[in-house]
Amino acid sequence: MTSGLEVPSALPEAHRTLSPSDHDALDVAEAGMGTVHGAGAGPTSRTRGPDRGRRLLGTLAFHLVALAGFTVPALVLWWHVWSGHPSATLTCSCGDPAQQVWFMEWPAWAVAHLHTPFFSDAVNVPDGANLLSNTSGTLVGVVLAPVTWAFGPVASANVALTMAPALSAWACFAAARPLVRWKPAAVPAGLVFGYSAAVVSSLTFGHVSVSLLVIPPFLFSTLHEILVRQEHSVRRDGLVLAALLVAQFFISPEIFVICGLLGVVGVVAVTVIGWRQLVGRAGHALPALALAAGLTAVILAYPVWYGLAGPQAVTGVLFSLAPLTGVPLSGLVSAGPSAAPAGVYIRFGGYLGRTGPPQDYIGPGVALGVVASLVVARRRPLTWLLALLFAVSLWFSLGGYLIGAPSWLWHLWLPWRRLSSLPVLKEILADQIAPFITLFLGLLLAVGIDALHETRGRPGGVLARHRTAVGVVVTVFVTLVAVVPVIASFDVPLRVVTVRTPPYVRAAAPALRGDPVWLTVPFAVSGDTQPMLWQAENGMRFRLAGAALKTPASTGGPVGSGKPGSARRILTDLSLGGASEPTGTAAQLVAVRAALAQWQVDEVVVAGASRDPVYASGFITMVVGAAPISTDGAWVWKLQPGWASTAPATGASLPICRVAAAAPAVRANRLFMAECVLFGAGRSTRQS
C-alpha cells in the first residue's frame, strides 16, 4: 500500500506498486535531481532523455488542464470582476480589500526601484512600516509584479484572489494523488479544500495571504513521503521540504507557523504509533528532515529576525479579543444565517454582500462522506492520521472560548487559550486554522473513495463487475454534495463595486514631484484604508502620514488608533464613527499641529468618504489657521515653509458652523465651513 505505514521500503518494490503516471512523475523527479539509480552519461541516459522530456511535458500539460478545471468555480465566484473591468473593480474600495491592493503595489514598486520589499517608507512617515510584521504576502506581490506594472495593482489583486482558490484546490488534488491508487478520488479533495468556507470567506475580504493555500497540501504529502513512502532520494526530499517552507513563509508567516504546529503533531503521532516500522526508515527520514530544517533556518534567519525585531517591527494583534475568538462548533454542519445582509463587522472588513457561513462550515455532505470514509478505509493507517489532524485542527480553531456548543461541552479544555499567549503564536487568529479542517477532511474523502474503489465486493456483484463506473459515480456524487452547499451559502457571484479614487487625487498625483507627504481625511489608520488605495493606484507618487498597517507604539505593540488625546486618535475620530468628534480644543489643535511637523506633512487633503468631510474641513482650518483651496471636490491645504508661524484659528464653534454650512442658501459654497471658522477667529482671508 502507498497510503499507510506498511509501504514496502525497497524502491524497486515501490516502483512495482505505482501506477504508470506515478512512474512518469518519479522518473521526471529523479532526472531533475540527478538521482536516477545507476544512471550515468552513457547511451542509456541519452536514449531515455527524449522520453523523459515528453513525460515532463505530458505531466505539465495534465496539471495545466487540471488547474484550468479548478479555476472554473473561481471564475463563477468572480464573474462580476472578469465580465467587467478587473482593473477597476473590488469587493470594496475600503477595509482589507483596499489594503490588499496596496500590498500588491508595494512589492512591484520596490522591485522596479531596487528597494527592499520588506519595508516601506511610503507610509507612516517618517518611521515607515515593517511589512514582514504585517500580512503583506510579499512573494505574491513579487510574482505578480508584471501584472501590476502592466494593468495596475487592482488587476493584480483580482488575479491573486481569483487564482487563490483554484491553486489551493489544484495543490490539494496534486498532493492527494500519491496517497491513492484511484486517481479521480483526488478531485473532490481539491474542491473541498480550495472552495471551503474558510477560503471563500477570506476571499471576500481580500485576504490573499491566508487564502492562497497552495503550500500546505504539498507539505503534508512531502512529510508523508519522507516518513512513510520514501520513494525518492534524501536530497530531493530535503530540498523540496525546505523550498516549500521558505515559500510559505513569504506568502504568510502565520500559515507557516500553523503548518509547523500541525506538522509537529503529525510527526509525533506517526512516530509514537508506528515507531516499529519507522525504525527502518530513520536512515532516510532523519537526514531529509535535518537537511530541510538546516536550509530553512539558514534562508529564513534574516527575514524572521527582520519581522520580529527589525526596523518598526511590531508584535501583537490590533484587536485585543482576536486571539481568544474562534470558529463556532455548531458551524461545522450549520451555515447559520448565511443569507442575511452583511453586518457591521463584515462591512468593516470590506465586504458589502451577504453574510457567508462560519469558516469551519463543511456541510452535511462532507460530514456524511467523512463518516463513510472512516468506515470504508478503517484499515488504512493514513485514515486515522488524517482523522487525528482534523480533530486537532478543529480543537485549535475553536479559539480560547467555546462558541455555539451545548452547555455540557463548556468544560472542554481549549489549548488555544494557552497557546495564544505564547510568542509568535499570539500573532495568529484561531480562525486562520479553519482551512486545515477541510484540508484533512478532503484528503480523508480521497482515501475513502480510493478504499471503496479497491473493495472487490461479492464475486459477480455490481461492485466487482463495474468497479470503475461505481468509483466515477461516487466521486461525482461526493464532489457535488460536498461543494455545492458551501458555495451556495455565499453570494454567487460575489458582490463587487467600482473602485473610485477622488478626482483631486487622480488629477494631482501625476504632476507630483519629490514624494511629498500627504495627510488625508479619511486618515490612514486601521479600519480606513482608502488613502493607501489611492496611493497604490497612483504609483506611490506621494507618501502618507499614518498607515492602515500594524506599526509599533512606544511599548512595542501595535499602535492602532492611538492613545486618547494623541493626533492619531483625533484624526481617527475625525474619519470614523464610534467616538465623539474632535471639537477643536486647544489641546487637540496643539497635538495635531505638532504631528504635522513631526510627520513632515506637505499637503493636507480632505477628500473621498469619511465621517463628515465638511466638518473635517472646518477642523483642519482651525489647525492650520488658514482656509483651504476647494478643487475637484476636495479641500486642500498646501503647507508652505513657515506655515507653523500662523496661529491656529480658535474661537469658533465647529458644531454651530456645521449647522450654518448645511443651510440651503450656502450649501453650494464648499468653503463656508472654513469661512465660518475663520470668522469666529476674527480672520477673513483665504489660502491662495
Residue 118, domain member (yes or no):
no
Say if residue 286 is in the same domain as residue 190: yes
- Helix (H/G/I), strand (E/B), else coil: 605: strand
Name the nearest CA neighbour of 600 among 245, 201, 255, 126.
Answer: 126
Mean per-residue pLDDT of the chain: 87
Q: Average pLDDT for residues 237-249, to the nearest whole number?
A: 98
Residue 493, domain member (yes or no):
no
C-alpha cell at 575: 474619519
- In angstroms, the Cα distances linking 407 to 39, 329, 361, 554 are 65, 12, 21, 42
Instruction: Say what the pLDDT of residue 18 is.
Output: 41
Angle formed by the axes of helices 186-194 and 43-77, to 10°? 50
Bridge partners (DSSP) of residue 520 are 605
Q: Average pLDDT for residues 323-351, to the nearest whole number?
A: 76
Query: Quick check: 198 pLDDT over 80?
Result: yes
C-alpha cell at 430: 484561531
Tens digit of each residue's pLDDT (9 = 90 or more) over 153-173: 999 999 999 999 999 999 999
Residue 354, domain member (yes or no):
yes
Tens digit of each residue's pLDDT (9 = 90 or more) over 430-473: 999 999 999 999 999 999 999 998 876 555 556 666 778 878 88
Say if residue 263 is in the same domain as residue 388: yes
Name the nearest CA neighbour of 666 among 676, 680, 679.
Answer: 676
Q: Which domain holds residue 664?
A: 503-680
Residue 124, domain member (yes or no):
no
Residue 114, domain member (yes or no):
no
How far apart, in whole angstroms, are the C-alpha atoms of residue 326 and residue 429? 7
How many domains would you assign to the chain?
2
Say if residue 448 is in the same domain as residue 483: yes
Identify the domain boundary among 459, 488, 517: 488
Say if residue 459 is in the same domain as residue 553: no
Instruction: Say what the pLDDT of residue 255 is.
Output: 96
String of DSSP letters for 368-434: HHHHHHHHHTTT-HHHHHHHHHHHHHHHHHT-SS--S--GGGTT---THHHHTTSTTGGGS-GGGGH
Q: Tell me which residue has cell 465566484.
A: 77
Query: Quick check: 53 pLDDT over 70?
Result: yes
Say if residue 262 is in the same domain as residue 403: yes
- In angstroms, the Cα distances linking 158 to 241, 494, 506 are 29, 12, 21
* Alpha-helical runs (H) found in 40-152: 43-77, 79-82, 95-112, 138-143, 145-151
Q: Which helix (H) or strand (E) holds 460?
A: none
Say if residue 512 is in the same domain as residue 484: no
More confident residue, 421 or 128: 128
Say if residue 428 is in the same domain as residue 517: no
Cβ burial of 462 (10 Å; 0-12, 13-18, 19+) is exposed
Residue 552, domain member (yes or no):
yes
Identify the domain boundary among 488, 516, 547: 488
Residue 661, domain member (yes or no):
yes
Say if residue 462 is in the same domain as residue 527: no
Q: pTM of the predicted model, to two decimals? A: 0.88
Say if residue 195 is in the same domain as residue 312: yes
**Under 8 Å between Cβ of 156 and 103:** no
Residue 84, domain member (yes or no):
no
How far apart, in whole angstroms, are the C-alpha atoms of residue 68 and residue 62? 10
Percent over 90 (pLDDT), the chain: 68
Identify the domain boundary among 447, 463, 488: 488
Say if residue 604 is in the same domain as residue 553: yes
* Alpha-helical runs (H) found in 130-281: 138-143, 145-151, 153-176, 186-194, 197-204, 208-211, 215-224, 234-251, 253-273, 275-279
Q: What is the DSSP letter of 558?
A: B
Say if residue 507 is in the same domain as residue 479: no
Percent over 70 (pLDDT), the chain: 88
Say if residue 462 is in the same domain as residue 532: no
Cβ burial of 495 (10 Å; 0-12, 13-18, 19+) is middle
More confident residue, 165 or 688: 165
Name the nearest CA neighbour of 446 among 221, 245, 213.
Answer: 221
Tens digit of each residue's pLDDT (9 = 90 or more) over 612-637: 999 999 999 999 999 999 999 999 99
